[in-house]
Amino acid sequence: MSKQVQQLDRVIIRFAGDSGDGMQLTGDRFTSSSAAFGNDLSTLPNFPAEIRAPQGTLPGVSSFQVHFADHDILTPGDAPDVLVAMNPAGLKANLPDMRAGSTLIVDSHDFTGRNLTKAGYAENPLEDDSLADWALTPLDLTGMTVEAVKEFGLSRKDAARAKNMFALGLLTWMYGRPTETTIEFLEKRFAKNPAIRDANVTAFNAGWAFGETTEAFAVRYEIKPAPMAAGTYRNITGNLALAYGVVAAGVQSGLPVFLGTYPITPASDILHELSKHKRFGVTTFQAEDEIAGIGAALGASYAGSLGVTSTSGPGVALKSETIGLGVMTELPLLVIDVQRGGPSTGLPTKTEQADLLQAMFGRNGESPVPVVAPQSPGDCFDAALEAARIAVTYRTPVMLLSDGMLANGSEPWRVPEIADLPVIDPAFATGMNHTTTGKDGAEVDDFWPYLRDPDTLARPWAVPGTPGLEHRIGGLEKGDGHGNIAYDPANHDFMVRTRQAKIDRIAESLPPLEVDDPSGEAKVLVLGWGSTYGPIGAAARRVRRTGLDVAQVHLRHLNPFPNDLGDILKRYDAVLVPEMNLGQLSMLLRAKYLVDAVGYNHVRGLPLKAAELAEAITDLITTTTGAEPVVEEVSS
Amino acid sequence: MTATDLPFPGLTGVPTRGDDELLTGKDFTSDQEVRWCPGCGDYAVLKAVQGFLPDLGLRRENIVFVSGIGCSSRFPYYLDTYGMHSIHGRAPAIATGIATTREDLSVWVVTGDGDALSIGGNHLIHAMRRNVNMTILLFNNRIYGLTKGQYSPTSEPGKVTKSTPVGSVDHPFNPVSLALGAEATFVARTVDSDRKHLTSVLEAAAAHRGTSLVEIYQNCPIFNDNAFEAIKNPDTKADAIIPLVHGELIRFGVDGAKGIARDETTGGVRVTSGDDPGVLVHDAHADDPTTAFALSRLTDAGVLHQSPIGIFRQVERATYDDDARQQLVTAEQGEGDPQEALAALISGPDTWTVV
């Protein structure tokens, strides 16, 4: 039976089920085959903090959203076109995000008495007509899976567990994805257990064949590959790209990398990944706590490594004192904060951008620290290298602010050429740098650990083992130049200002900001930082398609701000600052530039929605300039 | 003499001086004015360390002293080696990063009873269980000095201080018991005023590969004077100090009138007469820490009248830093150019090419 093929330019699919149903794996494999096919894509995993929340309940629902297209896309999408729900709770939890008319593919197997009750359904929604507004296809995915794999002699429970692969096979057929990548993956993953391996491959193939033969689906879809800049691509998550960026920083600086850390969601995958790369001279130390993690990292930096620590907001709180010590001792240190919902333990598996002010000010005393943020999963690689460059060049702790959405989300990433990566020069001190006149009038060469480079204001990094440069550093105030303990008031005032001046001077090494204003006529600027890049870009495109002008600038450097930011802000009549917090960047901009920044703030633990943000931008344009949309926004 | 001439596995990998490069205690003395109170026990320990460091045969640049916060933690400023005066309680963590990344450094931690046992208790026990190659000098004066006289986690119950005007209700730590409980591989106790004993213990600690924990009874003349009177007073010290010497009978008191024997009822140890045939021969090398722990319990928790002094435990066990470095060496073997390897790593197995 040959089916009709319909062309689409983009699709958003959400796989949802119990946290034990393998939804993350299913989504990940669908993403891989879409990447291999050449679509542009963006993903959003969403899972509970509990490893196995009570089965079949709403809190136990895990989902994975993938947006793939034949053109350049920026976000995982606001609302799915297709929901694949593996149980009643998966349907119930995700239905509010589904537009009328969108597709629901539901495993009907568990829509029975107790399972319905656990999900909070009084009646079976597959039978009571309550889903009439959607294109509903109930299928007994579990039953068909068990039937397909019965030859392998698995228990019923193990057989049923392959249902996610049946669903994946069906969707793979429906959207014309290649099957080889998934089959190869399954064969490798379950190589040690042939029965499980064969059951999964068989379920996957059975799902594909079911699509081909069933009358339930009359149409399959085609989404052509997206045109992309020439190069070699791979799919990558933010945490993986960030870990690779740290490895690259070690290679490009010639420094051994030492990661001192403590497991914490959503940063732990950085530890897991870096622990595999000892071949690059990367040491990973799983410390007894967050404080020991950063302490050991700072010790390693003192001893001549690139010290790195990785954590999330609660861990940053514990590390604050050691970051302060890093500021005082002026040693390179990379502090990675993969932000999550707060305060306190907050929402461990959800995303937020509310640690900006903590990164800026969360220490005692005047304790300036550079802050760098990646804007997309792949960009975590470049941001890590940039953070390492600043840390090493300026001898300072640097905060690298990723977030949960970047960490677990993925996108196609053009693999950079190594020759194009920046080279980082540790410029270790090797000899005396100062001459002292002794009591007898004779001149003696010595080493002053706080004698600064006139350009960068960085102090020399003299590593233990270097003869003649023995010196002592610590958290007490340093005398200018010689670095001995100094309590005098003028010296403290000078050192406080000098430490600030050193951080401010980093701005001189930054490239000009890129202003995206295609018409050059925009009166409203949207300014963001971090993972909101995608939603802001998508929203700006929507607004422009309606005939309005809007400019977009995205900040990688939050401290210091780039030197041209002030002038750029002055060029616009209004500035909108979308953030997943209550206005932290707005506060900094207002304080520094006296600009009347307008906030757009959501803290729902989820990325900003492009459509809603587009409305906010349009409203601000209308209020500011009187201009109204010329054409209606069309979807996509 | 160099480190390699001595049986100093603790310093394996650390470069030594040439035989013609003579250094004295003066060479290890920095130009900074020492600012402890007159009569502080820290002076004696500093002098002993400055006098003993040249004997290690190391170059100054290969020695690092790390400290936390407190009176004793000023120590690194007075030594002309590399040094870091860090933050309260964290010195063992910082030293772990130094020791793990640099086999060629001799790493020392200077800490006090508040720094190591109160705010930094966690780091201390984890350094010892990992057996990171460092020597920890724990100055125990049983009081908070730098914050001017509050009770510490080793102060005796009932102690009246500024923060406990009607007496402390805290039960104190026994640092040696704690270290043995954390399975430290080298645990010793010595006294600030006995330079000979202090030096011999420091030598053994430096020679040990792994974490060496040396508790130093140290007098604070300002806030806790005479806390160790019993073991310092010539009239009482014979009865107060229970000397632990590996391979020798554990006897003390005037003319060895008293000894330590197994207590069959508790499984611990008890004081007996010196000629009791059950008097134990001290075995610091016993792999099982049970007897060492039992000996540590002979220390008074209250006002000190009796305490074992010497090396409680000295056993070999793999160190965290050696093993961590070995994993890197193994992984790096036979690998080629790092930039080529980096290119392969970041590409991964699943790529596609757009032309």
Residue A40 carries which DSSP code? E
Q: Which helix (H) or strand (E) holds B196?
A: helix B195-207
Mutation target vs B (from A232, A262, A302; most B CBs, 10 A cutoff): A302
Parallel/antiparallel/unpaired status of strands A574-579 and A219-222: unpaired
Q: What is the mean pLDDT of chain A?
A: 95
- The Cα of A515 is separated from the nearest Cα of chain B by a number of Å equal to 27
* Minimum distance, in Å, between the CA of residue B156 and any CA atom of chain A: 29
Higher pLDDT, A402 or B21: A402
User: Is it the case that residue A634 has pLDDT exceeding 90?
Assistant: no
Nearest to A625 by CA among A511, A543, A534, A503: A543
Nearest to A5 by CA among A218, A169, A152: A218
How far apart (Å, rounded) are the C-alpha atoms in residues B302 and B158?
A: 9
Identify the closest residue of chain A to B88 by CA–CA distance.
A321
Q: Are A79 and A65 in contact (CB under 8 A)?
A: no
Q: Identify which of A453, A383, A464 has the alpha carbon closest to the alpha carbon of residue A425.
A: A453
CB-based contact B17:B57 (threshold 8 Å) = yes
Q: What is the pLDDT of residue B4?
A: 39
Angle at A172 between CA A167 and CA A174, to 5 degrees: 95
Closest CB to B348 among A234, A295, A301? A234
The length of chain B is 355
Residue B16 sits in which domain range? 3-227+318-327
Domain-located, residue B133: yes
Cis check: omega of the bond before A535, within 30 degrees of 0: no
Asked if the Cβ–Cβ distance from A279 to B347 is below 8 Å, we say no
pTM of the model: 0.94
B92 contact residues in A (CB cutoff 8 A): 292
DSSP secondary structure code for residue B163 in this structure: T
Into how many domains does chain B fold?
A: 1
Token pair listed for B129: 């269980």
Q: What is the pLDDT of residue A551?
A: 98
Beta-ladder partners of A578: A600
- Please give the interface size between A and B, counted as residue pairs whose CB atoms are below 8 Å apart: 204
Best probe of the A interface among B34, B69, B96, B132, by most A CBs < 10 A, is: B96
**Is B294 a member of any domain?**
no
Nearest C-alpha in B relative to A467 = B61
- Decide which of 3.40.920.10, 3.40.50.360, 3.30.1050.10, 1.10.1060.10 is the CATH code for A4-222: 3.40.920.10
Burial A100-132 (b: 16+ CB within 10 A, else e): eebbbbbbbbbbeeebbebbebeebbbeeeebe
Q: For position B124, which CATH number holds? A: 3.40.50.970
CA dist., res. B146 & res. B149, Å (int): 8
Q: Do B348 and A283 touch (CB under 8 A)?
A: no
Distance between CA B26 and CA B14 in Å, rounded?
Answer: 22
Of B80, B96, B335, the CB nearest to A470: B80
Is the per-residue pLDDT at A277 higher than 90?
Answer: yes
Q: Do A305 and B101 touch (CB under 8 A)?
A: yes
Q: What is the pLDDT of residue A517?
A: 97
Q: Which of B67, B81, B328 sits opposite A283 (nearest CB)?
A: B328
pLDDT digits (tens, 9 = 90+) for A191-236: 999 999 999 999 999 999 999 999 889 899 999 999 989 999 999 9
The torsion region of residue B282 among left (phi > 0), alpha (psi -120 to 50) and beta comes to beta
Confidence of residue A636 (pLDDT cuts 50, 70, 90): very low
Structure confidence at residue B1 (pLDDT): 37
Partners of A178 on chain B (C-beta within 8 Å) are none
CATH topology of domain A234-420: Rossmann fold (3.40.50)
Amino acid code (one letter) for B331: A
Whether the pLDDT of residue A135 is over 60: the answer is: yes
* Mean pLDDT of all residues in A132-141: 96
Residues of B in contact with A324 (CB under 8 A): 87
Q: What is the pLDDT of residue A504?
A: 98
Taking CB atoms and an 8 Å limit, are B82 and A474 in contact across chains? Answer: no
The answer to whether the Cβ–Cβ distance between B345 and A285 falls below 8 Å is no
Task: Determine, for residues A465 and B61 on separate chains, whether the beta-carbon distance falls below 8 Å.
Answer: yes
Domain positions in chain A: 4-222, 234-420, 434-508, 524-625
- Give the minimum alpha-carbon distance from B352 to chain A in angstroms, rounded to a whole number: 5
The residue of chain B with its CA nearest to that of A182 is B350
Residue-wise over A34-51: b if at least 16 C-beta within 10 A, else e? bbbbbbbbbbbbbbbbee
Phi, then psi, of B351 in degrees rounded to 5: -120, 160
Residues in chain B with pLDDT < 50? 1-6
Centroid of chain to Cα A414? 17
pLDDT digits (tens, 9 = 90+) for A443-462: 999 999 999 999 999 999 99
Structure tokens at A364: 């005692």
Is there a contact between A233 and B353 if contact means CB atoms under 8 Å apart? yes
Put simply, the answer to whether A473 touches B101 (Cβ < 8 Å) is no
Domain-located, residue B257: no
- Given a cut of 60, is residue A4 above it in pLDDT? yes
Q: Which residue, chain included where needed, has tokens 């760098």? A: A372
Question: Of all residues in chain A, what percent are helix, strand and coil, respectively (each to 5)?
Answer: 40, 20, 40
Whether the CB-CB separation of A532 and A632 falls below 8 Å is answered with: no
The reply to whether domains A234-420 and A524-625 share a CATH topology is yes
Distance CA A7, CA A383 (A): 37
Residue-wise pLDDT tens digits, A244-266: 999 999 999 999 999 999 999 99
CB-CB contact of B67 with B138 (8 Å)? no
Best mutation target among A33, A180, A284, A472 (most B Cβ atoms within 10 Å) is: A472
Q: Contact B206/B130 with Cβ under 8 angstroms? A: no
CB contact under 8 A, B61 and A418: no
Architecture of domain A524-625: 3-Layer(aba) Sandwich (3.40)
